[in-house]
């Protein structure tokens, strides 16, 4: 089983009487290699030896788009289990943060792009994202299980079933 992370940096959000509503933006990456290549997702990746999930989310966000994040500023938002043909493929820790330093830059791994929350390109993301990411972006916590079938790699398997629990306690 792989352990991995996803991180969703958020910016903006000042509302006025004239323009109420959630006007925040989320930083997504268009992945240039690896699992989910060509799709949008948050920055993230697999844990390295000896690394905590929080450290991994900070490192991957720095390596993929050049943003600096203090690990204490990450807010844990979810725990997702991705199963492939009945076996756990990846356990993924999901974080969000409104605190970071720097401007996103494109790297070999990723092209960053800010999206208004109502314009998140779910048709160009993993099929499961539309089920859990909207809640995560508006501050909720989630625990989810997502089943894929049809053999490796996971991004070519069919998404067949899911189970979600909202507003759960998630640690670290
Ligand atoms: N069904 C799914 N929905 C989703 O939103 N993200 C998923 C997903 N299945 C995997 N991921 C994410 C979690 C994690 O951030 C990433 C893992 O992909 P990879 O193994 O290719 O990692 P990386 O491309 O970052 O590789 P490394 O840099 O070598 O760690 O894919």
What would the pLDDT profile of 135-144 be if each residue is shown by its tens digit?
A: 999 999 999 9
Q: Ligand 1: does its nearest atom lie under 6 Å from the Cβ of 36?
A: yes
- Residue nearest (by alpha carbon) to ligand 1 atom 7: 126
Q: Ligand 1: does its nearest atom lie under 6 Å from the Cβ of 43?
A: no
Name residue, tokens 């974080």. 95
Q: Which of 92, 128, 145 has most ligand 1 atoms within 8 Å of CB, for mutation?
A: 92
**Residues 61 and 9: beta-carbon distance below 8 Å:** yes
Does residue 13 or residue 88 have the better pLDDT?
88
Mean pLDDT taken over the chain = 96
Note the pTM of the prediction, 2 decimals: 0.95
- Residue nearest (by alpha carbon) to ligand 1 atom 28: 45
Ligand 1 atom with the smallest distance to the CA of 33 is 24
- Residue nearest (by alpha carbon) to ligand 1 atom 24: 34
Q: pLDDT digits over 59-70, tens only?
A: 999 999 999 999
Q: Ligand 1: does its nearest atom lie under 6 Å from the Cβ of 147?
A: no
Asked if the model's pLDDT at residue 20 lies above 80, the reply is no
State the distance from the centre of ligand 1 to the C-alpha of 56, rounded, in angstroms: 12
Confidence at residue 1, expressed as pLDDT on a 0 to 100 scale: 82
Q: Ligand 1: does its nearest atom lie under 6 Å from the Cβ of 39?
A: no
Q: pLDDT digits over 91-124, tens only?
A: 999 999 999 999 999 999 999 999 999 999 999 9
Q: Give 137's Cβ-side CA count (13 Å radius).
A: 27
Question: All domains of the chain, ordered by start, with CATH?
Answer: 2-11+25-166 (3.90.79.10)
Mean per-residue pLDDT for 76-81? 98
Ligand 1 atom with the smallest distance to the CA of 4 is 14
Ligand 1 atom with the smallest distance to the CA of 48 is 30
- Residue nearest (by alpha carbon) to ligand 1 atom 12: 45
């Amino acid at each position: 089983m792989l352990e991995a992370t996803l991180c969703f940096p958020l910016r903006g959000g000042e509302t006025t009487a004239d323009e109420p509503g959630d006007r925040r933006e989320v930083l997504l990456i268009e992945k240039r290699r690896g699992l989910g290549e060509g799709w949008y997702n948050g920055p993230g990746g697999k844990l390295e030896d000896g690394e905590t999930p929080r450290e991994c989310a900070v490192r991957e966000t720095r390596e993929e788009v050049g943003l600096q994040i203090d690990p204490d500023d990450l807010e844990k938002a979810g725990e997702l289990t991705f199963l492939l043909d009945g076996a756990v493929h990846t356990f993924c820790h999901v974080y969000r943060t409104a605190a970071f330093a720097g401007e996103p830059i494109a790297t070999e791994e990723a092209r960053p792009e800010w999206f208004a929350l109502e314009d998140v390109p779910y048709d160009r993301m993993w099929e499961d994202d539309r089920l859990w990411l909207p809640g995560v972006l508006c501050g909720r916590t989630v625990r989810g299980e997502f089943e894929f079938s049809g053999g490796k790699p996971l991004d070519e398997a069919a998404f067949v079933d899911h189970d979600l629990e909202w507003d759960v306690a998630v640690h670290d």
